[in-house]
């Protein structure tokens, strides 16, 4: 998927020890170009990680590893997974969510192109962070901040999630590569390919940029030896990435 980077100054570096667990769907109440300008202004004090246009165009404003300012206000939330501290205060949802804005307003019908791009983006994000594709993890902004109707009544969440689910191809187990169970997270230090096997004999099925957090559920020391490193990590989806391209966060 082609993504145009439109950096916003409105973010916090890092996530203060949290990881994204949910994707929040927003409506722009305006155009993609207008949102680009609004998010580019420090005076707006708002941002999101991505924006999707009615023609399917995708813009990125904030890295997924950083905190965008899209869902920090909380009012009468219905979201089941909202986090609270020991004394009952609500932990800022921006710390553990990824926000996607969509062109239009709450009364706009979503285009097929918007559904296609948004679902592809959701599928990619879910695989990077191990986010389940269901209504507890793909939510509307109003489920955190009930005062707003965002993203409105026109988006079909079930359809969006079904499209995203269909774009997550099942990965078949490859004989000869057994992973030693181990859970953790690492950060990429360079652009890194995601592969079906821990070697480069098969074309990659995905690519992540530098400074991306990746979760793993196992590893092998018997993968292809690249630059004197034969260790590879396995993700929860059964895919693999080379350990030489990552560091511990």
Question: In terms of CATH, what superfamily is 180-247?
Answer: SH3 Domains (2.30.30.40)
The pLDDT of residue 121 is: 96
pLDDT band (50, 70, 90) for residue 217:
confident
Topology given in CATH for the domain delimited by 3-166:
Lysozyme-like (3.40.80)
Q: Tell the burial category of 102 from Cβ atoms under 10 Å away from its Cβ (0-12, 13-18, 19+).
A: buried
- What does the alpha-carbon distance between residue 31 and residue 53 come to, in Å, rounded to a whole number? 8
Give residue-wise pLDDT tens across range 98-110. 999 999 999 999 9
Give the max Cα distance, the chain: 57
Domain assignments of the chain as residue spans, ordered by start: 3-166, 180-247
Closest residue by Cα to residue 65 from 116, 118, 14, 110:
14
Residue with tokens 């996530």: 15
Give residue-wise pLDDT tens across range 138-197: 999 999 999 999 999 999 999 999 999 888 755 555 556 788 999 888 989 998 888 888
CA distance 130 to 38: 31
C-alpha distance from residue 29 to each of 21, 22, 208 (Å) = 25, 22, 30
| Segment 223-240, tens digit of pLDDT | 999 999 999 999 877 788
Residues whose CB is less than 8 angstroms from the CB of residue 182 and which lie 6 or more positions away in sequence, other chains included: 216, 217, 218, 219
Percent of the residues in the chain that have a pLDDT greater than 70, as a whole number: 96
**What's this model's pTM, rounded to 2 decimal places?**
0.71
Specify the pLDDT at position 170: 55
pLDDT, position 111: 96
């Amino acid at each position: 998927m082609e993504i145009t980077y439109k950096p916003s100054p409105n973010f916090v570096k890092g996530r203060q020890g949290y990881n994204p667990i949910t994707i929040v769907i927003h409506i722009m109440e305006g155009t993609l170009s207008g949102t680009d300008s609004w998010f580019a202004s420090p005076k707006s004090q708002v941002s999101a990680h991505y924006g999707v246009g009615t023609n399917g165009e995708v813009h990125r404003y904030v890295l997924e590893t950083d905190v965008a300012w899209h869902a920090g206000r909380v009012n009468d939330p219905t979201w089941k997974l909202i986090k609270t501290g020991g004394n009952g205060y609500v932990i800022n949802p921006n710390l553990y969510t990824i926000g996607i804005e969509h062109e239009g307003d709450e009364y706009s019908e979503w285009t097929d192109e918007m559904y296609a791009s948004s679902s592809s983006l959701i599928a990619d994000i879910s695989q990077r962070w191990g986010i389940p594709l269901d209504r507890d993890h793909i939510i509307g902004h109003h489920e955190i901040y009930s005062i707003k109707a965002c993203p409105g009544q026109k988006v079909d969440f079930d359809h969006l999630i079904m499209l995203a689910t269909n774009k997550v191809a099942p990965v078949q187990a490859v004989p000869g590569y057994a992973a030693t169970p181990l859970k953790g997270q690492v950060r990429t230090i360079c652009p890194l390919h995601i592969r079906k096997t821990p070697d480069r004999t098969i074309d990659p099925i995905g690519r992540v940029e530098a400074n991306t957090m990746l979760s793993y559920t196992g590893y092998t020391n018997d993968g292809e030896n690249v630059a004197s490193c034969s260790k590879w990590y396995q993700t929860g989806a059964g895919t693999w990435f080379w350990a030489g391209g990552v560091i511990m966060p």
